[in-house]
């Protein structure tokens, strides 16, 4: 994925250097920004999902530890 993004950036820079005043370059830049924004939003959703899963796992482990401590104290 990193290589794909690097190639896209290289193409974007090359087009921007060659076609400074061209409408096509501006459309390319707008498309690039839109795709980048969309990928960032997707990444944010995925990170939020992973964060929720990790938090859930932490609570399960903490609950198990607390349960074991309580059981040891009651014996």
Q: Domain coordinates of the chain in residue numbers?
A: 2-74
Please give the model's pTM, rounded to 2 decimal places.
0.54
9 and 15 Cβ atoms separated by less than 8 Å: no
Residue-wise pLDDT for 21-68, tens only, equals 555 656 788 888 888 999 999 999 999 999 999 999 999 999 999 999
Give the integer Cα–Cα distance in Å for 63 and 69: 10
Residue 19 is predicted with a pLDDT of 52
Give the integer Cα–Cα distance in Å for 20 and 2: 26
Residue that is written with structure tokens 């290589």 in the block: 3
Give the integer Cα–Cα distance in Å for 20 and 38: 25
What average pLDDT score do residues 12-25 get? Answer: 60
């Amino acid at each position: 994925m990193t290589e794909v993004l690097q190639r896209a950036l290289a193409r974007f820079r090359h087009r921007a250097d060659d076609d400074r005043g061209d409408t096509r370059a501006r459309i390319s830049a707008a498309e690039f920004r839109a795709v980048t924004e969309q990928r960032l939003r997707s990444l944010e959703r995925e990170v939020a999902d992973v964060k929720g899963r990790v938090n859930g796992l932490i609570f399960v482990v903490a609950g198990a530890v607390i349960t074991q401590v309580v059981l040891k104290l009651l014996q």
